[in-house]
Structure formats: structure tokens, C-alpha cells
């Protein structure tokens, strides 16, 4: 891991600064929107616009890179991000913010594609898995740390927007000044949605519903905190707990995923999550209770992304895995666009605590559908399933394809190892039979 950090430190440092800026602006807008008196519905549209842009960027960024190259796309998108972060404070209007959030989402999607392509190119077959894991850890550290920056200045002023813009501007320096050459870019054409649904109905429906949970959770959590009059420090802790839970739950859930029927794991996690989350509507546990709820919700929602990808891969040939991942990212993005809008309407109608009711309801739908799919076909044996790869829901198609390639390599290595063990057993058995024959003679 240390060797990976030495080889990729410039890119990882740049991504850390970038996630600090992105994590800060997402929470800051929720707090500033409440201070400006924007309605929950207006802010839900603003938050949804990010995912519209992100989905568009994931589709168009590869073509932009092919036309003008990594460096130019990276620099251009970074300039737009930095400029928009300043304009937020200058144009406090919901329509303007929605348009700017769409631009921000588009640009960040393209930046992730470029950065993850670069990271993949600088790693080797031996350390690619460690490299991507370290990259995800750096992303989470950046987003969690960004919540602390929310407390260094007044959200009603300009300073926090300036800090966010400066962080993003500085983040590109270590990346663009690094000596590594720009990689050759390629992605796989995605599988059609009809083919994808036929291959894995649970993966298809689950990724759509997960997008609706994820976007509402990370887009509306600061707005929820502002509506129930949490202090700035409490809002930052509430949002940070979601990400911390997601980071800590990845590994134990991944461990179980590789050792049991993944449908049972999905159904169990989402059912437990729905019950616990709905308690946020019924019981007032104070601020400590809110932190526990946000930690559990984040801990369930984040790993489900990797879990659905791994489950879908269990029903695919290795040649189709990368193509299916593109379709899953797309359907997840469609769900993400709808999430904040639906939640915003619910919060306007039934109050802020419908935040938990919405998340619990969608998790319950995921659980019910997983239980239903368990009655429709048999699960593949654990020995034949693909490996669980740790991925964030914000990962670009590049990172997802790399994870799928790593899963294929691990499966192939496991098959080779099993074949070698079988050959050794057969040789020992044959040698034992020869010895027994000699003894009889």
C-alpha cells in the first residue's frame, strides 16, 4: 500500500483536495438555501440537478477525452467547477443554483473519468486492487473532512464558497504537474437496458432504487438538518456520520458477500435498515439518535452499490461484465435524479422527519423485491460467484470497469488455484495407489 501511495501520491493528493471542495459545497448549499428562505421543493430540484449533470457527464466525458485528450478536458472542467463555486454566493437564486449544480455535476463526472483513467494506467496488475482501494479511502476521507470545514466561517457569507473554490483550483496542480503521461482512454459500450434487466432483474431494480436513496440521502441531509434547527456543527456531524458509516461497513459486508447468497444479504440489510430508519419517524432520540441513524443508513446504502454490482456479475460471462456495469451506472443515475425531488415533496407535505420515512420506504421496497426474486430462481453456488469490489456510488464507468476486471482476474486465479490443487490431489492419490500395489506384490 505504501508503494502505491508513493507512485500515485500526486493524483491522490489532488483527489483529496477535490473531494474536500466537493464535499463542502454539497453541504454548504443545503445550509445556505435554508438561510436564503428557499423552499424544500426548490432545494430538492437544485440537489437533483447535480445528478442530471453527473449522468450526462458520464456519457459525454469519454467522447470529449477522445477528441481533445485528458489534460485539456481535466483543466477545462476544473476551471468551470472553480468558477461555479464562486457564482453560487453571487447568484442566490434557486433557478441559477439548479443550472450551476447541473454544470458542477457534469464537470465532476468528467473529472472522475479522467482521474480514474490516470490512476488505472499508472498502476500494475499486481497493485491495481490496492490502488483503487486507496483511491476510495482518499475520497471518503476528503468528503468526511469537508464537513468540518463548514464550521470555519459563516455560511451566509462568501468565505466558505471561496474556500471550496480555492481547494478545487489547487487540487489540479499536483495532478497536471505530475510527470506521468496521459493514458490511452477506452470504455466498453454498455449493455442495453432490456438485456440487463433480463440478466439480473434484482440488480436492475435494486440499482434504480439505490440511486433514489443515495441522492436523497446525500443531497437532502443538510436540508433536513437545517429544517429541524440543528446547529452548523451538528449538521456537519450528521452528514459526516453518513460517510463514516459507509466507509466502515464496506469491509464486513464485503466479507459476508463473498461467503453467502447475496440476495439474502441484500434482503437482510435493507429490511434491517428499513426498520431502524423508520424509528427516526416514530421516536425522538435526540441528536445522538440522529447520529446513530445516519451512521447506520450510510453504512447500509454505500456498500449496497458494490453488492448489486457483484450480484449482477454472478450471472454474466466475463466478457459482458464491463458492458453491464455501464448500464447499471445509467439506471442508478436515473434513480438518483428522482430521489431528491420526491423527498422534497414529501418533506413539504409531511414535515422534515419524512426524510427518514422516505429512506425507510425505499429500503423496504428493495427488501421486498429481493425476497421476491429469491422465489424465482436458484442462487449460484458461492464458489461460482464473482468477488466483491469496494466502490463508491460516485465512481465513474472507468472505476467500475476496473473493478469488474479485477473480479474477473481474481476468479481466474481462483480457478487456476483449484485446478492445481486438484491435480496435486490426483497425483498423490495415484502415487498412493502405486505404493499399495507394490506392498501387495
Q: What is the pLDDT of residues 15-72, one digit of tens each?
A: 888 889 988 998 999 999 988 999 999 999 999 999 999 888 877 877 787 787 777 8
Grid look-up 449460484 returns 380
Half-sphere exposure of 310 (CA within 13 A, CB side): 31
pLDDT score at 341: 93
Is residue 291 within 8 Å of 182, Cβ to Cβ?
no
Q: Which residue has the higher pLDDT, 200 or 437?
A: 200
Tell me how far apart the alpha carbons of residues 441 and 438 are, in angstroms, rounded to a whole number.
5
What average pLDDT does range 359-375 have in this prediction? 94
The answer to whether residue 405 scores a pLDDT higher than 70 is: no
Name 128's Cβ contacts closer than 8 Å, sequence gap at least 6: 120, 402, 406
Is residue 32 within 8 Å of 85, Cβ to Cβ?
no
According to CATH, what is the number of the domain 1-187? 1.20.1250.20
Q: What is the pLDDT of residues 143-160, one digit of tens each?
A: 889 999 999 889 988 899
The answer to whether residue 111 scores a pLDDT higher than 80 is: yes
How does the average pLDDT of the chain come out, rounded? 81
Tell me how far apart the alpha carbons of residues 360 and 278 are, in angstroms, rounded to a whole number.
5
DSSP class of residue 158 equals S
Q: What is the pLDDT of residues 375-404, one digit of tens each?
A: 888 776 655 555 555 666 655 555 555 555
The answer to whether residue 437 scores a pLDDT higher than 90 is: no
**Superfamily assignment of 191-441 in CATH?**
MFS general substrate transporter like domains (1.20.1250.20)
Please return the burial class of 81, using the count of CB atoms within 10 Å of its CB with bins 0-12, 13-18 and 19+: buried
Around Cβ 96, how many Cβ atoms within 10 Å? 14
- For the chain, helix, strand, coil in percent to 5 are 80, 0, 20
DSSP of 202-251: HHHHHHHHHHHHHHHHHHHHHHHHHHTT--HHHHHHHHHHHHHHHHHHHH
What average pLDDT does range 322-345 have in this prediction? 84
Torsion of Cα atoms, 298 then 303 then 308 then 310, to 10°:
180
Tell me how far apart the alpha carbons of residues 14 and 96 are, in angstroms, rounded to a whole number.
28
Q: Which residue has the higher pLDDT, 116 or 261?
A: 261
Q: What is the pLDDT of residues 67-98, one digit of tens each?
A: 877 778 888 888 899 999 999 989 999 999 99
Q: Would residue 229 be called left, alpha or beta, if left means φ above 0 and alpha means ψ between -120 and 50 degrees?
A: left
Tell me how far apart the alpha carbons of residues 39 and 36 are, in angstroms, rounded to a whole number.
9
Tell me how far apart the alpha carbons of residues 214 and 209 are, in angstroms, rounded to a whole number.
9
What average pLDDT does range 366-374 have in this prediction? 93
pLDDT score at 114: 76
The answer to whether residue 184 scores a pLDDT higher than 70 is: no
Is residue 95 within 8 Å of 36, Cβ to Cβ?
no
Tell me how far apart the alpha carbons of residues 7 and 9 are, in angstroms, rounded to a whole number.
6
Domains in the chain: boundaries? 1-187, 191-441
Name 123's Cβ contacts closer than 8 Å, sequence gap at least 6: 4, 7, 8, 131, 132
Tell me how far apart the alpha carbons of residues 394 and 266 are, in angstroms, rounded to a whole number.
20
Name 205's Cβ contacts closer than 8 Å, sequence gap at least 6: 369
Q: Give the range among 148-157, 277-286, 345-354, 360-369 with minimum mean pLDDT.
A: 277-286
pLDDT score at 293: 93
Tell me how far apart the alpha carbons of residues 144 and 98 are, in angstroms, rounded to a whole number.
24
Is residue 356 within 8 Å of 278, Cβ to Cβ?
yes
Is residue 281 within 8 Å of 360, Cβ to Cβ?
yes
pLDDT score at 213: 93
Torsion of Cα atoms, 162 then 164 then 169 then 171, to 10°:
150
Around Cβ 67, how many Cβ atoms within 10 Å? 9
Half-sphere exposure of 122 (CA within 13 A, CB side): 26
What pLDDT band is residue 99 in, cutting at 50, 70 and 90? very high
Is residue 300 within 8 Å of 165, Cβ to Cβ?
no
What pLDDT band is residue 139 in, cutting at 50, 70 and 90? confident
The answer to whether residue 415 scores a pLDDT higher than 50 is: no
Is residue 130 within 8 Å of 4, Cβ to Cβ?
yes
**Among 250, 252, 15, which Cα is nearest to 145's?**
15
The answer to whether residue 182 scores a pLDDT higher than 60 is: no
Q: Give the range among 43-52, 135-144, 270-279, 366-375 with minimum mean pLDDT.
A: 135-144
Is residue 257 within 8 Å of 313, Cβ to Cβ?
no
DSSP class of residue 37 equals T
Q: Which residue has the higher pLDDT, 180 or 72?
A: 72
DSSP class of residue 391 equals -
What average pLDDT does range 196-220 have in this prediction? 90
Please return the burial class of 388, using the count of CB atoms within 10 Å of its CB with bins 0-12, 13-18 and 19+: buried
Cα separation of the two ends of the chain: 58
Amino acid at each position: 500500500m505504501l508503494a502505491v501511495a508513493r507512485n500515485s501520491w500526486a493524483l491522490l493528493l489532488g483527489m483529496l483536495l477535490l473531494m474536500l471542495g466537493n464535499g463542502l459545497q454539497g453541504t454548504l448549499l443545503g445550509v445556505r438555501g435554508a438561510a436564503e428562505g428557499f423552499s424544500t421543493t426548490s432545494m430538492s430540484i437544485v440537489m437533483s440537478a447535480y445528478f442530471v449533470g453527473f449522468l450526462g457527464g458520464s456519457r459525454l466525458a469519454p467522447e470529449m477525452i477522445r477528441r481533445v485528450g485528458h489534460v485539456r478536458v481535466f483543466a477545462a472542467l476544473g476551471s468551470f467547477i472553480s468558477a461555479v463555486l464562486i457564482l453560487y454566493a453571487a447568484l442566490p437564486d434557486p433557478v441559477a443554483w439548479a443550472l450551476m449544480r447541473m454544470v458542477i455535476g457534469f464537470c465532476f463526472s468528467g473529472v472522475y473519468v479522467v482521474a480514474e483513467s490516470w490512476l488505472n494506467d499508472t498502476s500494475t496488475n499486481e497493485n491495481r486492487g490496492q490502488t483503487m482501494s486507496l483511491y476510495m479511502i482518499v475520497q471518503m476521507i476528503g468528503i468526511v473532512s469537508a464537513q468540518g470545514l463548514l464550521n470555519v466561517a459563516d455560511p451566509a457569507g462568501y468565505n466558505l464558497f471561496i474556500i471550496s473554490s480555492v481547494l478545487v483550483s489547487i487540487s489540479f496542480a499536483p495532478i497536471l504537474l505530475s510527470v506521468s503521461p496521459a493514458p490511452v482512454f477506452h470504455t466498453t459500450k454498455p449493455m442495453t437496458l432490456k438485456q440487463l434487466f433480463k440478466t439480473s432483474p434484482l440488480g436492475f431494480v435494486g440499482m434504480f432504487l439505490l440511486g433514489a436513496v443515495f441522492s436523497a440521502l446525500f443531497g437532502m441531509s443538510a436540508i433536513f438538518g437545517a429544517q429541524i434547527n440543528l446547529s452548523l456543527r451538528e449538521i456537519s456531524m450528521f452528514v459526516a456520520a453518513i460517510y463514516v458509516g459507509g466507509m466502515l461497513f464496506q469491509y464486513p459486508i464485503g466479507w459476508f458477500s463473498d461467503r453467502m447468497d447475496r440476495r439474502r444479504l441484500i434482503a437482510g440489510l435493507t429490511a434491517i435498515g428499513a426498520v431502524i430508519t423508520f424509528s427516526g419517524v416514530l421516536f425522538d432520540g435526540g441528536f445522538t439518535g440522529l447520529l446513530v441513524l445516519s451512521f447506520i443508513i450510510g453504512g447500509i446504502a454505500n456498500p449496497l452499490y458494490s453488492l448489486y454490482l457483484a450480484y449482477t456479475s454472478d450471472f454474466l460471462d466475463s466478457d459482458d461484465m464491463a458492458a453491464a456495469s455501464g448500464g447499471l451506472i445509467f439506471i442508478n443515475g436515473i434513480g438518483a435524479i428522482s430521489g431528491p425531488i420526491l423527498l422534497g415533496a414529501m418533506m413539504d407535505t409531511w414535515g422534515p422527519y419524512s426524510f427518514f420515512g422516505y429512506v425507510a420506504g425505499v429500503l423496504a421496497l428493495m427488501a421486498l423485491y429481493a425476497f421476491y426474486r429469491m422465489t424465482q430462481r436458484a442462487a449460484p453456488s458461492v464458489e461460482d460467484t464473482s468477488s466483491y469490489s469496494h466502490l463508491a456510488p460516485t465512481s465513474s464507468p472507468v472505476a467500475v470497469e476496473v473493478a469488474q476486471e479485477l473480479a474477473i482476474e481474481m476468479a481466474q486465479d481462483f480457478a487456476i488455484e483449484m485446478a492445481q490443487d486438484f491435480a496435486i490431489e490426483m497425483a498423490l492419490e495415484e502415487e498412493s495407489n502405486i505404493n499399495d500395489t507394490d506392498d501387495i506384490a
